[in-house]
Amino acid sequence: MKYIKYLFFSFFAVVGNSYAQQNLIPQPQQIDIKSGNLYLDRNFSIVGKGSPEEAKFLQKNIKEITGLELPISSKDAKKSIILNLDAQHTAFSNEGYELIVAANQITITANQNRGIFYGIQTLLQLIEENRSSLNIPLLLIQDAPKFAYRGMHLDVSRHFFSTEEVKQYLDYLAAYKINKFHWHLTDDQGWRIEIKSHPKLTEVGAFRKESQTGPYAAMTFDGKPYGGFYTQEQIKDVVAYAQALHIEVIPEIEMPGHAQAVLAAYPELSCTGGPFEVGTTWGVMDDIFCPKDETFALLEDVIDEVITLFPSKYIHIGGDEAPKTRWKSCPHCQELIKKEGLTDELELQSYFITRMEKYINEKGKSIIGWDEILEGGLAPNATVMSWTGIQGGIHAAKTGHDAIMTPTSHLYFDYYQGNPQTEPLAFGGDTRLDKVYSFNPIPSELSAEEAKHILGPQANMWTEYITNFKQVQHMLFPRLMALSEVAWGTSKPDDYKKFESRVIQHLKVLDRKGINYSKAIYEVIGNIKLVDGQLTYTLSTANDPKHIRYTIDGSEPSSASLPYVSPINIDQSQTIKATYFENGKPISATITQSFDISKSTGKNIRLVEQPGEAYSTGGASTLIDGVFGDKQYFGKNWLGFNGKDVNATIDFGKETEFSTVKLSSLDRKGSWIHFPKEVRVSISKDGSQYEFVKGLSQAEIIDSDGDLVVTFPVQNARYIKVEVLNLGIIPDGQAGAGSGAWLFVDEISVN
Ligand code: TNX
């Protein structure tokens, strides 16, 4: 009987081998799987003289996964897991390690305990995936990260998370070899860190009278007081916990913007004197710190205490989204601009940041700031966190500054990762797993020398719409896995499908541990393609696509509906609905896509100005692909133009009769997105002489609520030009005042 059981195990072990190689996340740099297995039983002991903490960590986690309680011993036994800390071992970097699984012995070698720790994390994944057999394949792994900075952020201001929850979050990061935790501790809606010299920061600043619920534009509130903060003891406890996981905690104290919670407590630090309340709406507030001596004095006191709590060499001082509205009309600010010989408010921002940087540098620490610290000139030693795109990072690297890449386009985990109809309410966007996985932290514009300034990637978890920790888990997983592999430097976007299958194995581990995650990976995804004027709709899923059923008449799909076999040609206006079925039962939510086929669909289109990089997927053809963008879900099927007009010319190929132009636009003032101020339609027979036909005024646009229809007597022409004029500079009193407005448009449907 024993013999049979043994055979049974070895049979599975063989199957397990290929899995073991496949399912590690991040994939190691080098892996060599040998034949045979090590059977992990209770006779193993853990030997790790130089790594007592890591040995305990390993012991605890092996017990959690397998139930085995392995002793920690000081001498090698016949069967042992050896943590071999060897400072002389210089073959790999400080975070690198070698993991050898031999017949009766597992050895992890590294020259620092950080490397030992990552070797342990890899080993734990191997044990986890062979949990049922406890047969670990014999192998050799040599591994080290590509990027020294592998970051994950958490905003605890918009919603607050307990230290227990933050520690769980840190556990997740460590499991995926993330080594920096950016803790966003202050913002308009709450100040979350005890500062003993200024108790009102938390007494007043940590509590708001209510919170916004639902989508931003709905402006609905829950009427419930909300708040919380960490005492300094709690902060120290979290920092120590992170240290044991080899994670550096980087605190962020926002200035000069996102400061309304402070101003509620100390209104004298504003330009107007207040009064203020802790923010209850999301977005960007006009009231920011006034660059007075009292303001710097308070911020310096804050920094003094922050420095004692966080061993990190970095302090993040924000710098983002600071409207200059108040500074423009503030006599003190204008006086200061003159006195310091500055040209404008942007240079005043630079003065603010540089002054704080000097103070922080004198304390032996360095600053990190968001993109906007580039405004008016970059502080001398600053590291730039590039978020609005990758340009900030490129600029920093080219001027000899370090940069961390965290663009909204790929690494905002507060954006949707799946169909908004089935995902929890999110900020917006469309940041699916494959998008995250495709991110390359090194922009192609940089030389090898400049690229050394790119410290690595970071993903951000802003929590305006994330109200509880289960939802944090949902937004984090599985995208953290993609970040992990991008940051480790072993991602292969062309092999996305292989990565996806490893992810699916890891989701089973999350299931076992009761950790929530998004199921978007199993969704049916529709892709609109336009090739040589032919529009097709492609359906895919992480499951087997042949189990997708669809309808073309708007009815609900059933298991008897059309099976999906190949891309669907779209030649007329119709609504397609598709669902994934298994054994006759619907497994996925149904996706719905309506097509509006018009005389312009699939025709040649040319844009004078190009859309902003984050809102340009599909390029100009997005405007003639037969699909109107969803207004709630504006990450997809929309083109976004920052401060620019839309000037689109469509060539019908031959003279064509038409009398209507339909397009849509968006108004989301909180996100700096505004309706255009005018729409103009012109026509041409030859493509060079254009004749104005008709337009819409600003009043008509506002009236139409963004469904813009221009009608006129029947025209006959080969070319049509549609100009949609950007509002221009955002007016005072609105989010983003003084900056260029975003103009979002979709579809130019001509009939
Ligand atoms: C922009 S990213 C912000 C945050 C918001 C976030 C929402 C950055 C530096 N500022 O205040 O929470 O967008 O995605």
Q: Which helix (H) or strand (E) holds 350?
A: helix 345-362
d(CA 551, CA 575): 8
Q: What angle do CA 288, 181, 323 make, to 5 degrees?
A: 15
d(CA 462, CA 446): 29
pLDDT of residue 4: 35
Pocket perturbation via mutation, ligand 1, pick of 321, 372, 386, 405 by most ligand atoms within 8 A of CB: 321
Q: Of residues 419 and 646, which shows the higher confidence score? A: 646
pLDDT of residue 543: 82
In this predicted model, what pLDDT tens digit does every residue of 121-133 receive, in sequence order?
Answer: 999 999 999 999 9
d(CA 119, CA 111): 12
Pocket perturbation via mutation, ligand 1, pick of 188, 285, 320 by most ligand atoms within 8 A of CB: 320
Contact yes or no for 70/89 (Cβ under 8 A): no
pLDDT average, residue stretch 85-110: 90
Contact yes or no for 158/190 (Cβ under 8 A): yes
pLDDT average, residue stretch 3-29: 54
d(CA 640, CA 625): 16
Pocket perturbation via mutation, ligand 1, pick of 253, 462, 463, 634 by most ligand atoms within 8 A of CB: 462
Cβ contacts of residue 3 below 8 Å, gap of 6+? none
**Total residue count of the chain as it appears in this document:** 751
Nearest ligand 1 atom to the CA of 370 is 9
What is residue 624's three-state secondary structure?
Answer: helix
Is residue 632 predicted with pLDDT exceeding 80?
A: no
For ligand 1, atom 5, name the residue with the nearest CA.
462
Q: Of residues 558 and 3, which shows the higher confidence score? A: 558
Distance 670 CA to ligand 1 centre (A): 12
Question: Would residue 246 show up in a list of annotated catalytic residues for this protein?
Answer: no
Is residue 602 predicted with pLDDT exceeding 80?
A: yes
Task: Find the farthest-apart pair of alpha carbons in the chain and give their distance in angstroms, rounded.
Answer: 93
d(CA 664, CA 673): 13
| The one catalytic residue among 95, 129, 155, 187 | 187
Is residue 346 predicted with pLDDT exceeding 60?
A: yes
Give the pLDDT band of residue 652 (cuts 50, 70, 90). Answer: very high
Q: Of residues 694 and 87, which shows the higher confidence score? A: 694
pLDDT of residue 22: 67
In this predicted model, what pLDDT tens digit does every residue of 170-205 receive, in sequence order?
Answer: 999 999 999 999 999 999 999 999 999 999 999 999
The torsion defined by the Cα of 190, 192, 196 and 197, in degrees rounded to 10, comes to -40
Nearest ligand 1 atom to the CA of 155 is 12
Question: Would residue 613 show up in a list of annotated catalytic residues for this protein?
Answer: no
In this predicted model, what pLDDT tens digit does every residue of 349-407 receive, in sequence order?
Answer: 999 999 999 999 999 999 999 998 988 888 888 999 999 889 999 999 999 999 999 99
Task: Identify the CA nearest to 396 among candidates 370, 426, 361.
Answer: 370
Is residue 745 predicted with pLDDT exceeding 90?
A: yes
**Lowest mean pLDDT across 469-483, 557-571, 582-596:** 582-596
pLDDT of residue 19: 41
376-390 core/surface letters (b: 16 or more CB in 10 A; e: else): bebbeebbbbbbbbb
pLDDT of residue 635: 63
pLDDT average, residue stretch 522-547: 88
Give the pLDDT band of residue 8 (cuts 50, 70, 90). Answer: very low
Q: What angle do CA 710, 711, 717 make, to 5 degrees?
A: 100
pLDDT average, residue stretch 613-627: 86
CA distances from 655 to 532, 711, 717, 751 (A): 19, 18, 5, 13
CA distances from 639 to 331, 414, 607, 635, 636 (A): 40, 20, 11, 9, 8
In this predicted model, what pLDDT tens digit does every residue of 257-314 receive, in sequence order?
Answer: 999 999 999 999 999 999 999 999 999 999 999 999 999 999 999 999 999 999 999 9
For ligand 1, atom 8, name the residue with the nearest CA.
320
pTM, full prediction = 0.85
For ligand 1, atom 7, name the residue with the nearest CA.
462
In terms of C-beta density within 10 A (0-12 exposed, 13-18 middle, 19 or more buried), how is residue 511 classed? exposed
Nearest ligand 1 atom to the CA of 464 is 12
Tell me the average pLDDT of the chain: 93
Contact yes or no for 596/627 (Cβ under 8 A): yes
Distance 352 CA to ligand 1 centre (A): 20
Give the pLDDT band of residue 589 (cuts 50, 70, 90). Answer: confident
Nearest ligand 1 atom to the CA of 258 is 11
| The one catalytic residue among 129, 143, 321, 625 | 321
What is residue 601's three-state secondary structure?
Answer: coil
Nearest ligand 1 atom to the CA of 371 is 9
In this predicted model, what pLDDT tens digit does every residue of 432-454 receive, in sequence order?
Answer: 999 999 999 999 999 999 999 99
Is residue 12 predicted with pLDDT exceeding 60?
A: no
DSSP secondary structure string for all residues of 459-471 = EB---SS--SHHH
pLDDT average, residue stretch 393-422: 94
Is residue 2 predicted with pLDDT exceeding 60?
A: no
pLDDT of residue 11: 35
Question: Would residue 187 show up in a list of annotated catalytic residues for this protein?
Answer: yes
Backbone angles phi, psi at 420, to 5 degrees: -60, -20
Give the pLDDT band of residue 419 (cuts 50, 70, 90). Answer: confident
**Residues having CB within 6 Å of any atom of ligand 1:** 320-321, 370, 387, 412, 414, 427, 462, 464
Highest average pLDDT, of 93-97, 482-486, 727-731, comes from 482-486
d(CA 372, CA 639): 24
d(CA 588, CA 363): 55
Give the pLDDT band of residue 481 (cuts 50, 70, 90). Answer: very high
pLDDT of residue 176: 98
Is residue 458 predicted with pLDDT exceeding 80?
A: yes
